[in-house]
């Protein structure tokens, strides 16, 4: 089976969470509300082995293991537009857009034979999937590979930083391990959201104070935007707690 796909820049997929490489997250720290997404996957998933390779594994109560991916994300509530989306639906950072956006609809975080469903646009999207558009996928093999391979390369590099960070977090925060166990055992799965600031010490030459100053107004703006909205209660709590964390960081600057 063949799958064709070309982006028409309609902007209709530019909503909600946006996974980012660490380099892309830092490059866009002045625009995106950054958090870390922890996602457990139980054995049996098509991309389980890849998820374990790019992340870590944790033991479950049933003696099985869950693979856990840790991903930097622009944490925008579902159905809210990406902060880089202009009113006309165009991307304002198109020339420097994150690799995740360049790779769409393929995903470097999934096995090559696990891409088919990603090539079916959601209702209302204006993607071109006609036979005249680019041939991306044939018989579960990626044909146009450059962006997929670029994203996979980023993910492999990020894993070298994220794996030891994740293990340290799990060793020092039993509550995080418990939350991941709970999500892994839920039939519908789930995620755990952690402040991006917990990773900063492992990112080399990042100026923590400058980063906090970039993020605070963005995080606070989203806290204000979601205040009083019952359907965005969880997001509001994360934004509010994160904003307070960055205020403390800024106040502690010598």
In sequence order, the β-bridge partners of residue 192 are 38
Q: Give the pLDDT score at 104.
A: 94
Per-residue pLDDT at 24: 97
Concatenated DSSP letters for 104-118? TTS-TTS-TTS-GGG
Which H helix or E strand runs over 138? Answer: strand 135-138
- In the predicted model, is pLDDT for residue 137 greater than 90? yes
pLDDT tens, position by position, 39-79: 999 888 788 999 999 999 999 877 789 999 999 999 998 88
Rounded Cα distance between 240 and 236, Å, is 6
- Is it true that the peptide bond before 105 is cis, omega within 30 degrees of 0? yes
Amino acid 10: pLDDT: 87
Residue pair 75/235 in contact by the 8 Å Cβ criterion: yes
Instruction: Give per-residue pLDDT as tens, 159-215.
Output: 999 999 999 999 999 999 999 999 998 888 899 999 999 999 999 889 999 999 999
pTM attached to this predicted model: 0.94
| Residue 93 confidence (pLDDT) | 92
């Amino acid at each position: 089976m063949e799958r064709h796909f070309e982006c028409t820049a309609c902007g209709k997929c530019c909503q909600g969470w946006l996974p980012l490489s660490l380099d892309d997250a830092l490059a866009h720290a002045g625009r995106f509300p950054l958090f870390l997404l922890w996602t457990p996957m139980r054995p049996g998933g098509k991309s389980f082995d890849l998820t374990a390779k790019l992340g870590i594994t944790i033991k479950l109560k049933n003696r099985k293991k869950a693979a856990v991916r840790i991903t930097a994300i622009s944490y925008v509530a579902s159905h809210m537009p990406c902060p880089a989306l202009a009113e006309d639906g165009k991307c304002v950072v198109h020339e420097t857009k994150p690799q995740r956006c360049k790779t769409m609809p393929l995903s470097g975080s999934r096995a090559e034979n696990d891409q088919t469903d990603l090539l079916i646009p959601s209702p209302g999207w204006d993607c071109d999937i006609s036979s005249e558009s680019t041939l991306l996928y044939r018989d579960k093999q990626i044909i146009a590979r450059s962006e997929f391979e670029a994203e996979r390369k980023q993910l492999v590099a990020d894993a070298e930083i994220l794996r030891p960070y994740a293990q340290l977090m799990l060793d020092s925060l039993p509550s995080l391990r418990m939350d991941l166990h709970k999500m892994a055992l839920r039939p519908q799965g789930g995620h755990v959201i952690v402040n991006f600031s917990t990773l900063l010490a492992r990112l080399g030459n990042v100026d923590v104070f400058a980063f906090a100053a970039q993020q605070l107004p963005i995080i606070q703006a989203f806290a204000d935007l979601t205040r009083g909205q019952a359907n965005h209660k969880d997001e509001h709590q994360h934004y509010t707690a994160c904003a307070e964390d960055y205020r403390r960081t800024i106040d502690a600057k010598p």
